[in-house]
Amino acid sequence: MRPRLASGPFNSHEHLFEVKWDGVRAFLGRDRDGLRLVDRAGGDLLPAIPELRDAKIPEGVLLDGEVIVCDSRGRPSYDLLAARLGPRAAKRGRGPIFVAFDLLYDGHRPLLRRPLEERRERLAALGIADRKVAVPDHLEDDGEPFFEAVEEYGLEGIVAKKRRSPYVPAGRTSDWLKLHVTPRADVIIGGVEIDNERGARRLLCGWTAPGGLAYAGEAYVPPFLARWVDEATRGFASDRSPFITPVGVRPGLRWMRPLLIAIVEHAGAPGLELEDARFRALRLDGDPASAVHEEPVEVTTVPPVGPAERPRLVVLHSLPFG
């Protein structure tokens, strides 16, 4: 189950609000054959993250969540996680840890049709939180002040989930809504502009569209990542443009097979093209089919109802190393 994009923070009596974790989505569970940790495509993550092999999960339980690595301040960092899972396996940061935010099976019985509130209550009742597995808190009603608290702590964003929603595995749904502090998107790398002295200078980005790969504009590559991006993309070079519309050729342009997913931060995407986009990282569990242009969902807001200090306390209690 994956969230759609919300147009802005909102308060709602129909939703629970959670921290959006800057990690890799995964499922953690134990069956009769032992512990399993898989990504959303079903790939085995335990060889890359052996630290979670001894996670104390009861048999018959399946959890939905994210694998994260935190910085020195206890904030999840995708960059640190990517470095740990990359070819050099740089073990920096705190973790890894599995953040469990949903319970899909308990005692070998499926809970997917049960409402989110019930699944969250049963997850908390398992008592599985320890150094390997975190079970974060959530906030009722007050999404706007919660978003402000998340922004204050330098976190990625929030997710709003309807209290009564069942778990729907396929595709994106407006029952879950995401909101980033700094707008970001998953895009397909269709080309790389190379400077022989510097390395990669810009990415030519694309969205998956019905007719093929739609052009989504350029993304600037910071100098400290330029050489690495150049090297990481060489094996995907192509002799032709992957885009369905003409894109101007420029010196140093390397066309790419449309297979690599980049996470980019941007200043908006009012049309199909990103504004002032900046490369952040390669998506470790990228799926080209999911790199699409998202139309934000408009949600009506209501006045906040909870204590003013509650959002910050929920953020602090949610952070594994808070």
By residue range, what is the domain housing residue 138? 21-155
| Per-residue model confidence (pLDDT) at position 187 | 98
| Per-residue model confidence (pLDDT) at position 89 | 65
Residue that wins the pLDDT comparison between 285 and 307: 307
Which sequence positions are flagged as catalytic? 20
> Residue 221's domain is classified under what CATH number?
2.40.50.140
Q: How many domains does the chain have?
A: 2
Residue 174 placed within a domain: no
Q: Mean pLDDT throughout 68-76? A: 94
DSSP state, residue 257: -
25 & 130 share domain: yes
| Per-residue model confidence (pLDDT) at position 178 | 98
Burial of 176 (0-12, 13-18, 19+ CB in 10 A): buried
What are the φ and ψ backbone dihedral angles of 82, each rounded to 5 degrees? -65, -40
| Per-residue model confidence (pLDDT) at position 87 | 62
Read off the pLDDT of residues 209-237 as tens digits, 9 standing for 90 and up.
Answer: 999 999 999 999 999 999 999 999 999 99
E strands in 131-198: 133-134, 139-141, 157-162, 172-180, 184-195
Q: Token pair for residue 228?
A: 């690495």
Residue 39 placed within a domain: yes
Chain-centroid distance of CA 265 in Å reads: 13
Is the pLDDT confidence value at 291 over 80? yes
| Per-residue model confidence (pLDDT) at position 88 | 62
Read off the pLDDT of residues 8-29 as tens digits, 9 standing for 90 and up.
Answer: 999 999 999 999 999 999 999 9
Read off the pLDDT of residues 80-130 as tens digits, 9 standing for 90 and up.
Answer: 998 887 666 678 899 999 999 999 999 999 999 999 999 999 999 999 999
Residue that wins the pLDDT comparison between 79 and 177: 177
Q: Mean pLDDT throughout 186-196? A: 97
103 & 190 share domain: no
| Per-residue model confidence (pLDDT) at position 294 | 92
